[in-house]
Amino acid sequence: MPIEVVRDASALARRAADIICETARATPAAVLGLPTGDTPRATYALLALRAEAGVCDLTGVTAFAVDEFCGVPRNTPGTNSMYFRREVNLPLRTVHVPNPAAADPEAHITAFADAIRRAGGMDLCLLGVGVNGHIAFNEPGSAEDARARVVDLTEASRAAHAAAFGGLPAVPRRGLTLGIADLLEARAILVLAQGAAKAATLARALEGPRTADVPASWLQGHPHVTWLLDEAAAAALTRR
């Protein structure tokens, strides 16, 4: 399970962009799973610059968001739909984000996961890790065989998005997410993490037992997962 430790957030963004561009070169019609959040923002900006300069061709790439909030319109500030519109300004073939206002959210997110499989499955899935160890919106307690579903968000996860929604009361209490089992079907996974606040959780995810208490630990069972961490995030690891 490769662990790459880089100096800082800028180096992390450069290395993540390298891996995504390498994937697109090897598989021009690649299918990517993409997260939102602070950590991948610099990677997306760097990819946009490389695409504009003609050094990274993403025009054949299809992207699927790995999660979304539930129960609000797409254009609500703070939704992942708005994040993709604002932050992921990439010349991709198509970008698919679950509909947060779906009339039947359970059926919708199940169909969304099925669409990924019909597209051939994810060649590369990018993931962030929450302070509580969640991946996508798979909160603590998520089983390894959990599939795409509607989930109740923890207060920690809601608090992390409070600023984007204009305050904690406006953050939806439920989310739509690909399940652990859906994520593990990706042919390769790249986990991005930065900052000292993630260090203890990453030590549990990488060096502790595989457990639903730390959903990111389920990734230990994937044959092609790379952990890309900055020095601060890797500080609590005993091996690298």
8 is catalytic: no
Max intra-chain CA distance, the chain: 47
224 is catalytic: no
| Annotated catalytic residue within 67, 68, 87, 182 | 67
Structure tokens at 224: 């092609």
Dihedral (CA of 232, 234, 237, 240) sign: negative
**Calpha distance 184→54 (Å, rounded):** 32
b/e map 97-116, b = 16+ CB within 10 Å: bbbbbbeebeebbbebbeeb
| Annotated catalytic residue within 68, 99, 108, 134 | 134
| Annotated catalytic residue within 4, 18, 96, 132 | 132
Q: Residue length, the chain?
A: 240
φ/ψ of residue 191, rounded to 5: -100, 125
DSSP category for residue 57 = -
152 is catalytic: no
| Annotated catalytic residue within 87, 139, 182, 230 | 139
Active site residues: 67, 132, 134, 139
